Structure 1
Amino acid sequence: MPVIGFRIPDFESLYGAPVDRDRLLEELPMLGGDLDRVSGDEVHIEYFPDRPDLVSVEGIARAMRSFLGDERGLHHYELAAPEGTLEVDAGVGPVRPFILACHVRGLEPMDDADIKRLMDLQEKLAFGIGRRRSRVAIGIHDARDTAPPYRYHTVDGDHRFVPLAETKETTVRKLLAENPKGKAYAHLLPKDGPFPVITDKDGHLLSFPPVINGAHTALRAGTTDLLIDLTGPDLPTLRTTMAILAAAFLDRGATLTPVSCVYPDDAAFGASAGKTLVEPDMEPYRGTLSVKETERVLGLGLDRMDIIHALERLGHSATPCGKDPDEVHVLSPAWRADLLHEWDYIEDVAKGHGYRDVEGTLPKEPAFGSTHPAEKRARLVRTSLIGLGYLETTSLTITSEKALFDRFDLPRPEGDEAPVRVVNPVTEDQTVMRTWMLPSLFGILEANRHRDYPQSLFEVGQVVDPSGHNGWHVAAVRADARAGFTQVKGVAEALLRDLGVKATVAEDDHPAFVPGRVARWQVDGTTVGRCGEVHPRILERSELRVPVVALEFDLDRLLPVQTVEPVQQQA
């Protein structure tokens, strides 16, 4: 979890008043964190990663103004009119399609400590909500030596520029191979290009996202004006990150001037094609909360006004619904990245009410637990595959149709066969529930293609069929120069033997696998899984440079839980 350090005098200047030190240290963890250490007027607190708006002293002070002070409810910010443009070229669409930008003006002249604090915020956001720059990369530039119009476009590997903290030109290709930042983030870009860059009206290279900025706009002491750029594949995440940064700068008294990002009319940009995006957008999120559901979850006996007051302590604006006495309308800050479900609002109600006021109770009767048969089955599978040299992974059950079907040349099912769809998805890569698990493992292989081989991975987890029923699968992949069908068939046979299952094998056909090198496994005439060599075109699409073999079994068909006896726990 991120540890945020700040000085109490700086906190008080942002808070707007002196604070009682003891009360501050007592209340800070109530927002969702743990005090790490206190040294003099230096406070270090560890916050949960679901609150990226709290990874800066500005965000903490803003939250505490609502939680402790009189500034309850939604914070409102004013932005300047848009100024300047940034042209987005169609070539960045397949590489890193989205960009947002804004100018920050009127800061107090920055010293080295201010620059260090800003870089710390940049890195924490890029690491957390930005998923190590795969979702969001942040560029912060000294705006004194640059001006719009800006351009977001691509270059080849021979393009030359002077990277940040360097004095000599280098090529993009050489930087990716030799520079520490280049080697750390090269896997986020196509191996052979093209590569995205941001340039200004004079052609100066400002940034090579998501890797490194150019030296031309390096931050220097004394600057009062900045240019901020955010790039990534997921526009909603960029917008939330921009709102977090914007609120931090506005709390410092700066003026924010959006840059109009002009997108081409190209399908690669989705709903943004042909549009002009003006960010940050500080408009609040709208949500609703049920009084009955809040009571069911918390059991605190709170009425509607109690809930409204609790939400206002957490920086929301809440009003009763005139027509429905069970409903509360909520307006939430644009920088809150964690509000995905009604229960997230209920969690804020608990915080606003005060965890100290929640009395704990002990169960009236003793209860004895036991291992669920499905978990015992999963342990058997894990033991077998770990013994075969595979490393267990865990991934999300939420994915996208592109990852589930398009990547493997499978038609997208429609009607009753379509996957369960997420209502109001937060990101474009989390729109449906997965129906099989190999795509999840392939995503992990893609993210680790810069690591050494061989890589042997497996996962035991849930999938969701089109009817909404959850089922258990196991999938495994091995990326290795010597990987072949005989090898993966041997792994499947060993797994079945360890589970005590007798199955027959027959030739199969599947678009994701090499014809003639894929087999299906059957138990009593029912197909329970398949294994084989992944087709080279799939590997090329994922930029995997070694052969990959894979297997996947439906555990509910392979070994029904009714056949697995639970392990009784000792009282």
Structure 2
Amino acid sequence: MPTIEINKKELEHYLGRAVDDKRLQESISYLGTDLEGIEDGVIKVEIFPHRPDLLSVPGFARALSQFMSISKKPKEYKSKSSSYVVNVEKLVNSVRPYTTCAVIKNVKFDDQKIKEIVQIQEKLHITFGRQRKKCAIGVYPLEAIKFPITYTAKDPKQIEFVPLESRKKMNASQMLSQTSSGRMYGHLLEGCKTYPVFLDANNEVLSVPPIINSHTVGKISDKTTDVFVECSGFDYITLSQCLNMIVCALSDMDGDVYEVKVHYPNSVKKNPELKPKKMKIPFDLVNKRLGLSLSKQDVKKALLRMGITTEKDTALIPPYRTDFISYADIIESVAIGYGYQNFEGTIPDVATVGKEAPLDVFKRRLSDVLIGLGLVQVSTFHLVSKDQVEGDGVWTVDAKTSEHDTLRNQLIDPVLSTFGINRGHEYPQRIFENGIVFLQKGKEVIEQERLCCGISGADTDYTQIRQIMDMIGKRLGLTVQYKESKDPFFIEGRSAQILIGNTAIGRIGEVSPKYLAVYKLEVPVAIMEINLDELFLKVD
């Protein structure tokens, strides 16, 4: 989890008053963050992943001010209309198709504020942006660029500019090997024939996302007062949320926010979108889940301490909060706002004896066998993209990102995705995952425990993965049989059904080149996937 450093005097500036260390320590801990310490006027705080809005000093001060009741009402963020335009061309569809943009004026930058802006970018890149894969951020001095801005894609050899903190002009291909950012993030453009680029009306390069800004027009200084901010990536909602966090932080630095019209080939978006999100407050569930007897007014008071205003029985979620997905998030906010220290402990009047579930004991035994065979256990998300399910999957309503909008119904794609992510590492690679998949039977969704093992390497073949399945059968005292079959995941003639007696419990084979290409894998992969629920029933 990321740690931020906050200058105490700067924090007190945003709070509007001095606060003694003891009160500060208590409030920071109760807010739901981990205080590492206060030393020499510097506060070190560990921020949990679900609160990226706290990664900036203004954002942290905003939350703390509300929680400590210093601020009586949360600030309402609004943008002013403007004539600023960014044109997005179709050419970026295959590289980084979306961008969100804003202009902020009248920020009095000094060394401290510049340091804060750099910290916001770095921390959001690492966490919310997944090392710039999901989201890349650019901040530019407005006086150095001319609108309209064009977001397009070009041959990297035709993109020439002076990269940030560099002295010589180079093209985008050279930039990947000759700059530290290029070496660190160049893999994100691996295999791309064209690179995304922001150009101003003078055809001046602003940046090549997600790698680096231009030194000429992409570096802010203590003379800067107005800035242009852009976020680029693959999911519009993610980019909009990221932009909101940056914009609100700059607004808290006394900046004035101006909207930017982003013209896509088939639509026009106005950024930033600062209207609060509305969620119904589940008053009955709040008390049921927390074991309290709070009145509606008490619930609203607790939410206000968390910076959330209310309108009748509706919570108004601020634009910089990205962690509100369901009613459970409202209940959690009520609990923190009420104060965990105010909960009274009670001794249950029912005596129970707990023990590990038999299926979990069985799964642990299998894991021990596989680890002994040199496999590394991995754990992937239950939610995947729609193209990573087999047949009709179970889709989520109002998904926040297209990368995680469907419940997985097999483990082969997630394991292949893991190989794809780690293709730059040493081979051979041997991994396994045991986890839940979700199958739709009529109107019912059934959970099923499965095990998937994969081997990837230059000499990987069907025999190697079968040896692993044979060893599992031997350790469990079962006779494993194989029946040749056709499976779209596997090469024809190198795949089979896995049987225990007359019961088919899984499938095994060498992965088809078609699927290897999807995950940009250049070495053979062999995989087996079995139904652990069925296998468990076969064990004596």
TM-score band w.r.t. shorter chain: over 0.9
Q: CA deviation at 1:192?
A: 4.1
Change in Cα spacing, 1:303 to 1:25, as seen in structure 2 (3 Å) is: same
Pairing partner for 1:386 from 344, 348, 371: 371
The answer for the alignment partner of 2:278 in structure 1 is 286
Is 1:214 the equivalent of 2:214? Answer: yes
The answer for the alignment partner of 2:400 in structure 1 is 426
Which whole-Å deviations, capped at 9, do the CAs of 1:194-234 have from their partners, x for residues lacking one? 22111111222211111222222222332112221101111
Is 1:308 the equivalent of 2:305? Answer: no
Q: CA deviation at 1:464?
A: 0.8
Q: CA deviation at 1:502?
A: 2.0
Q: Which amino acid aligns with 2:45?
A: I
- Separation of aligned partners in 2, 1:242 and 1:79: 13
- Separation of aligned partners in 2, 1:161 and 1:454: 40
Is 1:376 the equivalent of 2:371? Answer: no
Question: Equivalent residues in 2 for 1:27-426 (5 A)?
Answer: 27-69=27-69, 71-111=71-111, 113-159=112-158, 160-216=160-216, 217-264=218-265, 274-320=266-312, 328-364=313-349, 366-405=351-390, 413=391, 418-426=392-400
- Say if 2:359 and 2:536, in contact at 8 Å, map to a contact too: no
Which whole-Å deviations, capped at 9, do the CAs of 1:9-47 have from their partners, x for residues lacking one? 211221233334432221111111121111132211112
- Separation of aligned partners in 2, 1:253 and 1:16: 13
Secondary structure in structure 1 of the residue aligned to 2:482: strand
- Separation of aligned partners in 1, 2:501 and 2:72: 65
Bigger drift between 38-47 and 186-195 goes to: 186-195
Change in Cα spacing, 1:479 to 1:163, as seen in structure 2 (3 Å) is: farther
Q: CA deviation at 1:498?
A: 2.5
Q: CA deviation at 1:391?
A: 1.0
Q: Which amino acid aligns with 1:339?
A: F
- Separation of aligned partners in 1, 2:522 and 2:254: 50
- Separation of aligned partners in 1, 2:415 and 2:136: 24
- Separation of aligned partners in 2, 1:229 and 1:65: 28
Pairing partner for 2:503 from 504, 519, 526: 526
Q: CA deviation at 1:63?
A: 1.1
- Separation of aligned partners in 2, 1:382 and 1:483: 21
Q: Which amino acid aligns with 1:12?
A: E
- Separation of aligned partners in 2, 1:553 and 1:170: 52
The answer for the alignment partner of 1:269 in structure 2 is none
Q: CA deviation at 1:475?
A: 1.0
Q: CA deviation at 1:366?
A: 5.0
- Say if 2:15 and 2:70, in contact at 8 Å, map to a contact too: no
Secondary structure in structure 2 of the residue aligned to 1:515: strand
- Say if 1:104 and 1:226, in contact at 8 Å, map to a contact too: yes
Q: Which amino acid aligns with 1:505?
A: Y
Secondary structure in structure 1 of the residue aligned to 2:528: strand
**Runs of 4 or more off by more than 4 Å in structure 1?**
none
Bigger drift between 450-459 and 276-285 goes to: 450-459
Q: CA deviation at 1:448?
A: 2.1
Which whole-Å deviations, capped at 9, do the CAs of 1:145-190 have from their partners, x for residues lacking one? 1121111111224233322111123333333345432232233224
- Separation of aligned partners in 1, 2:490 and 2:172: 35
The answer for the alignment partner of 1:437 in structure 2 is 411
The answer for the alignment partner of 1:511 in structure 2 is 488
Q: CA deviation at 1:127?
A: 1.0
- Say if 1:82 and 1:278, in contact at 8 Å, map to a contact too: no
- Say if 1:72 and 1:315, in contact at 8 Å, map to a contact too: no
- Separation of aligned partners in 2, 1:525 and 1:245: 60
Secondary structure in structure 2 of the residue aligned to 1:32: coil
- Say if 1:187 and 1:447, in contact at 8 Å, map to a contact too: no
Unaligned runs of 5+ in 2: none
Bigger drift between 29-38 and 449-458 goes to: 449-458
- Separation of aligned partners in 2, 1:445 and 1:72: 51
Secondary structure in structure 1 of the residue aligned to 2:281: strand
Question: Equivalent residues in 2 for 1:489-568 (5 A)?
Answer: 489-560=466-537, 563=539
- Separation of aligned partners in 1, 2:454 and 2:92: 31
Q: Which amino acid aligns with 1:116?
A: K
Change in Cα spacing, 1:292 to 1:58, as seen in structure 2 (3 Å) is: same
Q: CA deviation at 1:547?
A: 1.7
Q: Which amino acid aligns with 1:287?
A: M
Change in Cα spacing, 1:315 to 1:239, as seen in structure 2 (3 Å) is: same
Secondary structure in structure 1 of the residue aligned to 2:303: helix
Q: Which amino acid aligns with 1:306?
A: D
Secondary structure in structure 2 of the residue aligned to 1:360: coil
Secondary structure in structure 1 of the residue aligned to 2:395: coil
- Separation of aligned partners in 2, 1:441 and 1:187: 20
Which whole-Å deviations, capped at 9, do the CAs of 1:51-78 have from their partners, x for residues lacking one? 0011111011111222122534543122
- Separation of aligned partners in 2, 1:185 and 1:448: 15
Secondary structure in structure 2 of the residue aligned to 1:457: strand
- Separation of aligned partners in 2, 1:499 and 1:138: 52
Question: Equivalent residues in 2 for 1:467-506 (5 A)?
Answer: 467-506=444-483
Q: What is the TM-score with the length of structure 1 in the denominator?
A: 0.90
Change in Cα spacing, 1:117 to 1:260, as seen in structure 2 (3 Å) is: same
- Say if 1:294 and 1:346, in contact at 8 Å, map to a contact too: yes
- Separation of aligned partners in 1, 2:424 and 2:182: 12
Change in Cα spacing, 1:175 to 1:546, as seen in structure 2 (3 Å) is: farther
- Say if 2:33 and 2:48, in contact at 8 Å, map to a contact too: yes
Task: State the aligned residue count.
Answer: 535
- Say if 1:75 and 1:333, in contact at 8 Å, map to a contact too: no
Q: Which amino acid aligns with 1:390?
A: L
Q: Which amino acid aligns with 2:321?
A: R
Bigger drift between 150-159 and 506-515 goes to: 150-159
Unaligned runs of 5+ in 1: 265-273, 321-327, 406-412, 565-571
Q: What is the TM-score with the length of structure 2 in the denominator?
A: 0.94
Which whole-Å deviations, capped at 9, do the CAs of 1:385-436 have from their partners, x for residues lacking one? 212221111111011211224xxxxxxx4xxxx3222121111122111100
Secondary structure in structure 2 of the residue aligned to 1:352: helix
Secondary structure in structure 2 of the residue aligned to 1:158: helix
Change in Cα spacing, 1:205 to 1:536, as seen in structure 2 (3 Å) is: same
Secondary structure in structure 1 of the residue aligned to 2:128: coil
Q: CA deviation at 1:367?
A: 3.8
- Say if 2:35 and 2:44, in contact at 8 Å, map to a contact too: yes
- Say if 1:458 and 1:474, in contact at 8 Å, map to a contact too: yes
**RMSD between superposed Cα atoms in Å:** 1.9
Q: Which amino acid aligns with 2:44?
A: H
Secondary structure in structure 1 of the residue aligned to 2:269: strand
- Say if 2:197 and 2:208, in contact at 8 Å, map to a contact too: yes
- Say if 1:187 and 1:450, in contact at 8 Å, map to a contact too: no
- Separation of aligned partners in 2, 1:347 and 1:38: 27
Q: CA deviation at 1:530?
A: 1.1
The answer for the alignment partner of 1:270 in structure 2 is none
Secondary structure in structure 1 of the residue aligned to 2:324: coil
- Say if 2:478 and 2:539, in contact at 8 Å, map to a contact too: no
Q: CA deviation at 1:297?
A: 0.9
Secondary structure in structure 2 of the residue aligned to 1:453: coil
